Amino acid sequence: MTQYMFLLYDSEDYDNISAEEWERQMKLHGEFSAAVEAAGARVFGGEALQRSSTASTVRQGSGEPLVTDGPFIETKEALGGFYLIEAKDLDQALELAKLVPAGNVEVRPLMDTSEGAGPPA
């Protein structure tokens, strides 16, 4: 089994989202989680994020860390949430990623940082 993070990128255009639409979205995510379990894979983490305009960035360069407003994105789609998934292999992870109710899903393997693990491949 390999562990992956699914990074969910989508439009943040949900100013006037209705209660029904919200419920529908949550239901879709519930169905996604059920599909993962049904496939013999596992969700071991995941959260939705507040919109990117609520974010702050701490920039670490030379000298004092600098706190600024927001991330610096030019694209229409922002990181809106994530899942942590354990799957058999990348093929299974990609099949599951196709079921995520989000515009784009970046599938990224997690790095092993446990004791005894070597530097990343």
- Residues forming the site for other proteins (CB under 8 A): 1-2, 4, 87-91, 93-94, 107, 109, 111-112, 116-118, 120-121
DSSP string, 59-77: E-SSSS-EEEES----SSE
Q: List alpha helices for the chain, DSSP H.
A: 19-38, 90-97
Instruction: Provide, rounded to whole angstroms, the least separation between the CB of residue 115 and other proteins.
Output: 10
Instruction: Provide, rounded to whole angstroms, the least separation between the CB of residue 56 and other proteins.
Output: 31
- Give the number of other CB atoms < 10 A from CB of residue 55: 15
Give the residue with the Cβ less far from other proteins, 101 or 109: 109
Instruction: Provide, rounded to whole angstroms, the least separation between the CB of residue 92 and other proteins.
Output: 8
The amino acid at residue 103 is: G
Give the residue with the Cβ less far from other proteins, 77 or 95: 95
The span from the CA of 21 to the CA of 27, in Å, is 10
Instruction: Provide, rounded to whole angstroms, the least separation between the CB of residue 108 and other proteins.
Output: 8
Give the residue with the Cβ less far from other proteins, 10 or 92: 92
- Give the number of other CB atoms < 10 A from CB of residue 4: 22
Give the residue with the Cβ less far from other proteins, 66 or 94: 94
